[in-house]
Amino acid sequence: MEIIDIHVHPRQDKELKEVENLINFAKKLNITRINFLGDVLYYGYHPNNEQIKKINDLTIKLVKKYPCFFSGFCFVNPEHDKKFIKQEIERCIVKGNLKGIKLEASCNASDKRVFKVAEIAEKLNVPILHHAWDTTNINSRWGPEVCQSDPEDIAILAKKFPKVKIIMAHLIACGVRGILEIKNFDNVWAEISGGQPVTGIMEYAVKKMGAERILFGSDCPGRDFSAQLSKVYGAKITAREKELILGINAKNLLGLK
């Protein structure tokens, strides 16, 4: 069975040896591929152009070194001008080896500045993985520093760009509310990282939106592959549904052979 972890962050300041440890540890748990999203918070929530380039340089370098084990997404900050974003996406995806776009918490997903990134994603036919969280309890939806996106913001983006494949990050943290927000959008996938391996949410997600649009993601190295995998292994869903979530869906979405 293939296991593809679509949500892992390489550490910007660590030696290559750390990456080899990560590979070894992932392989121990039968993970067959890791998708790097960049060390997106290394320079804070609002990285500048040069910082963005450094983050993507590392992802490109790691994917180039281990092409059979790593794939990666190009990280951009929608606050930057469209010309730079377009250039960076072209450098990383069109001319480079990355497969999608990662957006974090510098802009809300329903912000018009995110739309210009979605336009580029639509033209290139590449997926966007967007950070999301149910902020009902954490009260940081519109902080001066962090700009969280709730599942309903992802839904706004998905509705405006029905041809863009959007991956809503952190399904467990988006919870029941998040599942209900995105379930009717065929262009939205949900990635299961975010918090502890809480029972019940995976089962609810499979019941409401089907297993075909759910992807395994761990958010390592802040998390442990083992604990995050337990969300799938422990869930009361069928073996076929587990296979889809663990690898098949990601393989199809990323166009992997």
Given the rule CB under 8 A, which residues bind another protein? 22, 25, 28-29, 133-134, 136-138, 172-173, 175, 195-200, 203-204, 220-227, 229-231, 233-235
Residue closer to another protein (CB basis): 154 or 235: 235
Distance CA 100, CA 197 (A): 26
Residue closer to another protein (CB basis): 199 or 252: 199
Residue 203 contacts residue 235 (beta carbons within 8 Å): yes
Q: Give the nearest distance from C-beta 47 to another protein in angstroms.
A: 23
Residue 185 contacts residue 161 (beta carbons within 8 Å): no
Residues in Cβ contact with 59 at an 8 Å cutoff, skipping those fewer than 6 apart: 10, 36, 37, 38, 72, 73, 74, 75, 92, 98
Residue closer to another protein (CB basis): 37 or 253: 37
Q: Give the nearest distance from C-beta 156 to another protein in angstroms.
A: 22
Strand-strand pairing, 128-130 and 166-168: parallel
Residue closer to another protein (CB basis): 134 or 191: 134
Q: Give the nearest distance from C-beta 148 to another protein in angstroms.
A: 11
How far is the CA of 173 from the CAs of 39, 45, 176, in angstroms? Answer: 20, 19, 9
Distance CA 118, CA 164 (A): 7
Q: Give the nearest distance from C-beta 78 to another protein in angstroms.
A: 24
Residue closer to another protein (CB basis): 38 or 175: 175
Distance CA 94, CA 106 (A): 24
Q: Give the nearest distance from C-beta 110 to another protein in angstroms.
A: 21
Residue closer to another protein (CB basis): 94 or 138: 138
Q: The tokens 């422990």 sit on which residue?
A: 234
Residue 70 amino acid letter: F
Residue closer to another protein (CB basis): 64 or 177: 177
Q: Give the nearest distance from C-beta 136 to another protein in angstroms.
A: 6
Q: Give the nearest distance from C-beta 246 to another protein in angstroms.
A: 14
CA dihedral 223, 225, 226, 228 (to 10 degrees): 70
**Mapping DSSP to helix (H, G, I), strand (E, B) and coil, where does residue 167 land?**
strand
Largest CA distance in the chain: 47
